């Protein structure tokens, strides 16, 4: 961890192939884009330093690098992750149907207090919508998840969704250390 950072938070992106995870990550990491990889476990991750509530946080965000296509995500992907963005594509119902399975993995391999945000991406394609916002919102509420729709293409809500996750992680971390 860099000297000047108060915290290092690991978070993961998860969801079916093609929903827009990689594009969300490159939006979030933009200028500071620093992609790295761990070829041994076949993942990629990017860092961004971000200031939240007077704390400088180094967010390390992991991306599946296409492994989800082969259902080859291993428990090491989730290990130590404090947050997750569970992404589906609002124009592809099948990607929404997979959410339950991804949630199962998160709960099996992730930590107890993991902050999970359900993300409906590609909201710029409203005319092809197959998943209503209200339906996903209700599901998120029953599962105790946060929820947001985004467009990685138009850069809508992407910054906000990462920021919400990091802020919640910080709150939980602070509560723990009290």
CA distances from 47 to 43, 55, 133 (A): 14, 16, 30
Q: What's the CA angle centered on 39, arms 72 and 7, to 5 degrees? A: 95
Residue closest to ligand GDP when measured from CB atoms: 20
Residues 113-132 binding ligand GDP (CB under 6 A) are 121-122, 124-125
Q: Does 98 bind ligand GDP (CB under 6 A)?
A: no
Q: Does 20 bind ligand GDP (CB under 6 A)?
A: yes
Three-state secondary-structure class, residue 129? coil
Distance in angstroms (rounded) separating the CA atoms of residues 115 and 84: 6
- Options 3-11, 16-24, 74-82, 129-137: segment touching ligand GDP (CB under 6 A): 16-24
71 beta partners: none
- Options 30-38, 100-108, 129-137, 147-155: segment touching ligand GDP (CB under 6 A): 147-155
Residues forming the site for ligand GDP (CB under 6 A): 17-23, 121-122, 124-125, 151-153
């Amino acid at each position: 961890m860099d000297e000047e950072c108060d915290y290092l938070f690991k978070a993961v992106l998860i969801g079916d192939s093609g929903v827009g995870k990689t594009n969300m990550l490159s939006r979030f990491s933009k200028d500071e884009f620093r992609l790295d990889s761990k070829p041994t476990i076949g993942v990629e991750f990017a860092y961004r330093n971000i200031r939240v509530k007077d704390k400088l946080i180094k967010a390390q965000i992991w991306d599946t690098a296409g492994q989800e296509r082969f259902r080859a995500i291993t428990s090491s992907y989730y290990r130590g992750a404090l947050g997750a963005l569970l992404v589906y594509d609002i124009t592809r119902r099948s990607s929404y149907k997979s959410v339950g399975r991804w949630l199962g993995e998160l709960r099996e391999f992730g930590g107890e207090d993991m902050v999970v945000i359900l993300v409906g991406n590609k909201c710029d394609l409203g005319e092809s919508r197959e998943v209503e916002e209200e339906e996903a919102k209700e599901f998120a509420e029953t599962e105790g998840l946060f929820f947001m729709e985004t467009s990685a293409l138009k850069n809508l809500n992407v910054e906000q969704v990462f920021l919400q996750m990091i802020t919640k992680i910080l709150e939980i971390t602070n509560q723990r250390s009290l």
